[in-house]
Amino acid sequence: MSAQNPHPTMRDVADLAGVSPMTVSRALHNDPNVAPSSVSAVLAAVDRLGYRRNEAARVLRTGRPHDLLGLVITNLANPFYAQLAVGVERFAAAHGQRVVIGNSADDPGRERELLDDFRSQRVSGLVVVPSGPDQRHLAPDVLDGVPVALAARPPRGVDLDCVLVDDTGGARDLTASLVAVGHKRIGFIGLPTTSWAGEQRLDGHLSALAAAGIGADADLLGSTDRLAGTAEDVARRLLALPRPPTALVAANNRITVGAYRAIRRYAQSTALAGFDDLDFADLLGQRLTVAAYDPALVGETAAALVLDRLRSADSTRQPARRRRIPVVVKQYRTLGDDPAVDVVREQS
């Protein structure tokens, strides 16, 4: 209860319990070869002193890493990555591991700093959303065997465990859902093509068109590079074409919102489909189709890959594994679609 010695050690506990430090250590590790009477004496002393094992000493002595996972994320403020972090934390906690988080802000230099830090801390494993063009600095030999899994982006320049979203399949299904209801001129607003997801989602879109026998019209392919302007600008430009599209596909949630703005203003009959779920989708005055998946599952799966490697002895020898997170297409109706709309008051 009362704090006198700020950090009592095993010695202190041992003295109070009238045993040796070794017995304390054993008792605290649930070693069966300790007399019950000793155990209770130790526990009592621990309680009285407020003793807490010094992790640093334990780590130093055993040479084993902390039960600590390092998570390097590009942007915790983005709900997608926040959810991913939730998934990592959840899985880690369920397996007795803590999580240290670092924000790389998509800066490869900062990413390296964080990795350095984490390794100095002797983390037992790493989950990384990589930011640079290449991940050779994450190769098993340079990491001295600390297991790592990439999340949301694929390894480049080296083969590593990774968890990816089914971008291509999701985008294909999204576009296919528009084709299925008769759309033939479908505009696409993509991410910068330098981004992995951007490339994949464009591929998916194009393959859906090809499968439907619709020729790709270059005029209908927009993207939100820095030059092209905001998603809303790009959408507006597409809607202003001589032969405008009857539907728009947006490559992520932010783009979907931009496209929505443009549609509401300039061409309200245009259909809209977007990658990523929107939790306020039913509040919009527009039907919306989305390609949805569970970002937390990405984190959970990545953590699972890391912990799995941690458990298996010859971790370094196993080949890199890939996991793919499924994407499903969902339709949202608007509030206005509800037959009950405008029924006004119930009683009154």
| Pairing between β-strand 328-332 and β-strand 288-292 as defined by DSSP bridges | antiparallel
Of the candidates 99, 156, 148, 159, the one whose C-alpha atom is nearest the C-alpha of residue 315 is: 148
- Choosing among its own copies, DNA, none, which partner's interface includes residue 121 (Cβ < 5 to 8 Å by kind)? its own copies
- Choosing among DNA, its own copies, none, which partner's interface includes residue 155 (Cβ < 5 to 8 Å by kind)? none
134 touches its own copies by CB under 8 A: no
Here the tokens at position 109 are 């230099």
- Choosing among DNA, its own copies, none, which partner's interface includes residue 266 (Cβ < 5 to 8 Å by kind)? its own copies
Q: What angle do CA 331, 334, 337 make, to 5 degrees?
A: 105
Please answer whether residues 261 and 232 qualify as being in contact, where contact means their C-beta atoms are separated by less than 8 angstroms: yes
* Of the residues 159, 233, 266, 328, which one makes contact with its own copies according to CB under 8 A: 266
Burial 272-284 (b: 16+ CB within 10 A, else e): bbbbbbbeebeeb
For residue 177, the minimal CB distance to DNA (Å) is: 57
For residue 31, the minimal CB distance to DNA (Å) is: 7
- Choosing among DNA, its own copies, none, which partner's interface includes residue 76 (Cβ < 5 to 8 Å by kind)? its own copies
**Binding mask of the shown chain, residues 13 to 52, with x at each position contacting DNA by CB under 7 A:** ------xxxxx-xx-xx--xxxxxxx--------------
Of 166-225, binders to its own copies (CB under 8 A) are: none
94 vs 211, which CB is nearer to its own copies? 94
4 touches DNA by CB under 7 A: no
Within 13 Å of residue 242, how many CA atoms lie on the same side as its CB?
1
Q: What angle do CA 277, 188, 337 make, to 5 degrees?
A: 50
* Of the residues 43, 48, 53, 169, which one makes contact with DNA according to CB under 7 A: 53
15 vs 106, which CB is nearer to DNA? 15
> What are the Cα distances from residue 187, in Å, to 59, 178, 266?
57, 11, 15
294 touches its own copies by CB under 8 A: no
Question: Please, is 182 exposed, middle or buried when counting C-beta atoms within 10 Å of its C-beta (0-12, 13-18, 19+)?
Answer: exposed
Please answer whether residues 234 and 220 qualify as being in contact, where contact means their C-beta atoms are separated by less than 8 angstroms: no
* Of the residues 2, 4, 62, 347, which one makes contact with DNA according to CB under 7 A: 62
30 vs 33, which CB is nearer to its own copies? 30
Residues that bind DNA (CB under 7 A): 7, 9-11, 19-23, 25-26, 28-29, 32-38, 53-54, 57-58, 60-63
